[in-house]
Amino acid sequence: MKYILRNKLRLIPMALTAFLLTLSLTACGNASGGAGSAEPEGAAEEYSKTVYAMDIPIDLKAWGKQAREAVEEAGQELQRIDSLLSVTNAESQIGQLNARTGSTISGETLDVVQDSVRLSELTGGAFNITIYPVVRAWGFTTGGEYRVPSDAEITELLTHVGMDKFTLSESGNDSAEVVFSDEKTMLDTGAITKGYASDRVYEIFDSHGIDSALCSLGGNIITKGKKTDGSQWRVGITDPFNPDDYCIAVAVEDKFLVTSGGYERYFNADDGIRYIHIMDPETGRPVDNDLESVTIISDHGAEADALSTALFVKGRDAAIDFWKNCTELEFDMILIDDDGTMYVTEGIADSSTATGNYPVKIIH
Ligand code: AMP
Ligand code: MG
């Protein structure tokens, strides 16, 4: 069986799911390893660095008196969060839960899991951190071979999937116990971790008085404040049909932009079908609907990350209904469907510019 892995975030260190139109992050530090770059004293205080965490190179760039301290601290924080939550690291808190070598999680991990529970409920289960046994069976995140599980195998695996298959009990000393009711249930916060980490990076920048920053964690972009010339950041959203290009640009400040798309990671199987890394928790199969990508634009990184995954699972019409009816969450979005139409919510309609030939429809 021939499998093709397409994960441009791994293969091209500087390729971004969202292209940054007005700032070239390729000029940002080194591609790996973490050497930073700083302006000489007295010049615009700018500092940038690329760190490797969460399986991708992450570009951090900030301007301000404490730019260096802020970026260095953010880089360490990203690696710390990775070591806490990585599903592929048996020593992480999530890794230990899944291997049943530990059942205690810190207050911070509890926050991420509780947020995941909340977003799972709000999205009617489309976001589901217990989908991991299914994700693994298809070969995603295992580092092994991609494969198409049989229907019987999927049916069996789905019996271990469900947000009701674990309970959390806070122990009072900033930790909690996780108890699984099913021996094979596992957790994977991978679809929200980068967003959570983005929130932390933003907070760290804030604590260092940084009012202009731009970071890229794969499909997660953080914009802080405006550019130093006073204009807004213009972030380009990847063309899912041609991922080396972008198809729409959005002008923003102080926003998190998170894109989920099948083009980010997939394999082509012998049956001629392209199987992607985002699973429909109802079917136990890779999402195969009318959407090519979902971009969420929000004030909250973790929410944006979970929502981009969940609304991708839901499909175009259900995602639009969700945006119209969900009163608990405030966000804008760009959906790109399989015939190339871009659906842009009204809040960002005026600040979005199509850069190709795809038609745009405004959602009110
Ligand atoms: P993202 O790139 O944020 O959309 O997250 C996708 C990753 O989250 C996948 O690579 C899986 O590890 C995991 N995942 C896949 N499907 C789901 C789902 N329906 N809910 C939560 N996590 C998922
Ligand atoms: Mg996500």
Condensed to tens digits (0 to 9), the pLDDT of residues 256-285 reads 999 999 999 999 999 999 999 999 999 999
**Quick one: pLDDT at residue 15?**
35
The CA 308 to ligand 2 mean position distance, Å, reads 5
The residues, ordered by sequence, that sit 6+ positions from 351 with a Cβ below 8 Å of its Cβ are 232, 250, 251, 252
For the chain, the structural domain boundaries read 3-26+190-363
Q: Report the C-alpha dihedral over residues 284, 289, 294, 299, rounded to 10 degrees.
A: -50
Average model confidence (pLDDT) across the chain: 90
State the pLDDT at residue 234.
97
- CA-closest residue to ligand 1 atom 10: 277
Stretch among 11-20, 112-121, 251-260, 296-305 having the lowest mean pLDDT? 11-20
Element (H, E) at 214: strand 212-217
* Residue 142 pLDDT grade (very low, low, confident, very high; cuts 50, 70, 90): confident
Q: Please work out whether the CB of residue 221 comes within 6 Å of at least one atom of ligand 1.
A: no
44 band by pLDDT with thresholds 50, 70 and 90: low
Q: Over the stretch 190-237, which tens digit does the pLDDT of each residue have? A: 999 999 999 999 999 999 999 999 999 999 999 999 999 999 999 999
**In whole angstroms, how large is the CA radius of gyration of the chain?**
20
Q: Helix or strand or coil: residue 318?
A: helix
**pLDDT interval class at 8 (50, 70, 90):** very low
Determine the residue of 88, 115, 120, 131 to mutate for testing ligand 1's pocket, defined as the one with the most ligand atoms within 8 A of the Cβ atom.
131
Eight-state DSSP code of residue 173: S
pLDDT at 295 over 80: yes
Per-residue pLDDT band at 171 (split at 50, 70, 90): confident
Whether residue 38 is predicted with pLDDT greater than 90 in this model: the reply is no
4-18, 72-86, 110-124, 294-308: which has the minimum mean pLDDT? 4-18
pLDDT tops 90 at residue 31: no
Ligand 2 centroid to 55 CA: how many Å? 15
Q: Find out whether the beta carbon of 166 lies less than 6 Å from any atom of ligand 1.
A: no
Can you list the alpha helix ranges (DSSP code H) found in the chain? 8-11, 67-85, 93-99, 107-122, 132-137, 151-158, 190-207, 301-314, 316-325, 346-349
Instruction: Give the 3-state secondary structure of residue 320.
Output: helix
The rounded Å distance from CA 313 to ligand 1 centre is 9
Q: Judge whether residue 61 has pLDDT over 80.
A: yes
Residue type, 14: M
Does the CB atom of residue 92 touch ligand 1 within 6 A?
no
Q: Is the pLDDT of residue 80 over 80?
A: yes
Among all bound ligands, the one having the nearest atom to the CA of 186 is 1
Range of lowest pLDDT (41-45, 66-70, 188-192): 41-45
Closest-CA residue, ligand 1 atom 5, reads: 191
216 lines ligand 1 (CB under 6 A): no
Pocket test for ligand 1, best of 16, 132, 279 (most atoms within 8 A of CB): 279
pLDDT of 164 over the 60 cut: yes
pLDDT, mean of residues 353-360: 95
Higher-pLDDT residue of 167 and 10 is 167
Question: Does ligand 1 have an atom closer than 6 angstroms to the CB of 140?
Answer: yes
Query: With 90 as the cut, is the pLDDT of residue 87 above it?
Result: yes
Pairing of strands 342-345, 360-363: parallel
Per-residue pLDDT at 23 exceeds 70: no
DSSP letters spanning 216-228: EETTEEEEEE--T
Q: Which ligand is nearest to the CA of 119?
A: 1
- The pLDDT value given to residue 143: 75
Ligand 1 centroid, distance to 278 Cα (angstroms): 5
- Which residues, chain by chain, have CB under 5 Å from ion ligand 2? 191, 305, 308-309
Q: How far is the CA of 298 from the centre of ligand 2 (A)?
A: 13
Q: Is domain 3-26+190-363 in CATH 3.40.50.1000, yes or no?
A: no
Beta bridge partners of 252: 233
pLDDT band at 141 (very low <50, low <70, confident <90, very high): confident
What does the pLDDT read at residue 20? 56
Contact 46, 64 (CB under 8 A): no
From the CA of 65, how far away is ligand 2's center (Å)? 33
* φ and ψ of 304, to 5 deg: -60, -40
Residue-wise pLDDT tens digits, 301-340: 999 999 999 999 999 999 999 999 999 999 999 999 999 9
Nearest ligand 1 atom, CA 220: 3
Which of ligand 1's atoms lies nearest the C-alpha of 218? 2
pTM of the model: 0.91
Residue 5 alpha carbon to ligand 1 centre in Å: 17
